[in-house]
Amino acid sequence: MNKEVLAAIAIFVLGFGLISRRLEKSIFTPPMAYVTFGLVINSPALGLVKEVEITKEVIKIIAEITLAIVLFTDASRIQFKLLRREYNLPLRLLTIGLPVTILLGTILAVILFPTQLNIWEAAALATVLAPTDAALGQAVVNNSRVPACIRQAINIESGLNDGICLPILLFFVSLAAESQQNNTASYWLNFASKQIVFGAVIGIVVGYFGSKLITKSVQGKWMTHSFEDLAMLGLSILAYTSAELIGGNGFIATFCAGLSLATIATESVVECLYEFGEAEGQLLTLITFLLYGAVIVLPTLSQASWQVWLYGILSLTIIRVLGVVIATSSLKLQLDSILFLGWFGPRGIASIVYGLLIIEKEGLQNSELIFSTMVVTVLISVFAHGLTAFPGANWYANRVADKQDIHHRMPEMMPVEEIPVRLPWRE
């Protein structure tokens, strides 16, 4: 990467940071800004990126590190005691809404791409676009006027569904590859099983013993506060690389490591983990969005068919809303709440990384189509959810406020203990 591009990126990161607090409660979100900047520096007028060879492999490496850290920190925010006791709504979104979304997305893919995708490739596409990313609509989960039950449902769903989707994606990719290669189904299923089991075991072990070591060191005053943050980076990378070395999946390992650490770690250790995720994780996430805009978007858009655009739009709207409707059918939520939950299911970093994993997978004949559909869907989501997050949260909060007379009967007004969000506002 030449000095001109590095200088432009540095100036942009600094400039956006200087006004970031002013923009926090506006319709212009950080992912929108970084994707737009990426598009600008790769535009015909500037074409800075074309002078440097930033390959998909480079983006994949950065995106993989980013997702590993995001999975690690997001999983650590989930408190399972509270989840079992107070969070019926997010559990329904994860155990009912997520499978329904994948099923409906698969059916839609088969309808729109009947001659291009087989059933397993269609299922893989649906799974790539199933995980949500609350960071794209941060104003929603940070707005205290939105009922805590709804905010936390979006927050928890986003924190867990990317980790849940990965083993499902591995399963579908294995079946798709088996249908197009000479290897037997048992070979691919065995491969997927090792990825899932080895990844989970390594993650639990690293999270457990890592948490114990850090806690002992902190209590013995052997570790400084700044190195607690660095230790979190070390744990997430250790879980990822250890799993990959023995044939497991690194993302599953980092996700399980975060869950394990959060279960047994002391409050001070967990607070360091939040700080680490808020700083390093945020920077890596936004750099991934910048590279996505600079290198991936324009070449993909030039080849995207109308079916690709239609799939992206329907995936973000009808498919998502139907999943939420079915998942919440017995909860007696207000229609406003169902529509709000249905709309705010943005697609972001997890979908980008899963798409990059698909594109490099040998044996998938239509990986380019899956990748293109992911790129278009995420692009729509970055801007559609970013622009609507702040006004949408205020609209919904006002609608709830207008129903003061039935508040005591509204399940969405049930009090819940709040789980930390990825990027909290500081008033």
Task: For helices 56-76 and 148-180, give the axis angle rounded to 10 degrees.
Answer: 140
Q: What is the pLDDT of residue 153?
A: 86
Contact status, residue 96 vs residue 130, Cβ threshold 8 Å? no
CA–CA dist 41, 55 (Å, integer): 16
Cα–Cα distance for residue pair 353/19, rounded to 1 Å: 29
- φ, ψ (nearest 5 deg) of residue 265: -75, 155
Q: What is the CATH number of domain 3-413?
A: 1.20.1530.20
User: What's the one-letter identity of residue 192?
Assistant: A
156: left (phi over 0), alpha (psi -120 to 50) or beta: alpha
Residues of the chain with pLDDT under 50: 51-52, 424-427
pLDDT computed for residue 77 by the predictor: 72
- Using only C-alpha atoms, the chain has a radius of gyration, in whole angstroms, of 21
* Cα–Cα distance for residue pair 71/208, rounded to 1 Å: 16
Annotated domain spans of the chain: 3-413
User: What are the b/e assignments for 1-39, b being 16+ CB within 10 Å?
Assistant: eeeebeebbeebbeebeeeeeeebeeeebbbbbbbbbbb
Q: How many residues does the chain have?
A: 427
The number of C-alpha atoms within 13 Å of 214 and in the hemisphere containing its C-beta is 30
The 3-state DSSP class for residue 374 equals helix
pTM: 0.86
| Side chain identity at residue 186, one-letter code | S
Closest-CA residue to 248 (of 203, 187, 185, 184) = 203
CA distance 69 to 60: 14
How far lies 276's CA from each of 83, 89, 142, 348, in Å?
23, 28, 19, 20
Report pLDDT for 45: 59
Structure tokens at 28: 């212009």
State pLDDT tens for residues 315-324: 999 999 999 9
Residue of 212, 216, 239, 217 whose CA lies nearest to 75 = 239
Tokens 């044996």 found at: 363
**Residue 148: which of 80, 81, 82 has the closest Cα?**
82
The one-character DSSP state at 302 is: T
Contact between 403 and 410 under an 8 Å Cβ cutoff? The reply is yes
How many angstroms separate the CA atoms of 229 and 266, rounded?
Answer: 14
CB-CB neighbours of 204 under 10 Å: 18
Among the listed residues 343, 307, 253, 284, the one whose alpha carbon sits nearest the alpha carbon of residue 71: 253
Integer Cα distance of 118 and 106 in angstroms? 10
pLDDT at 55: 61
305: helix, coil or strand? coil
- First CA to last CA distance, the chain: 38
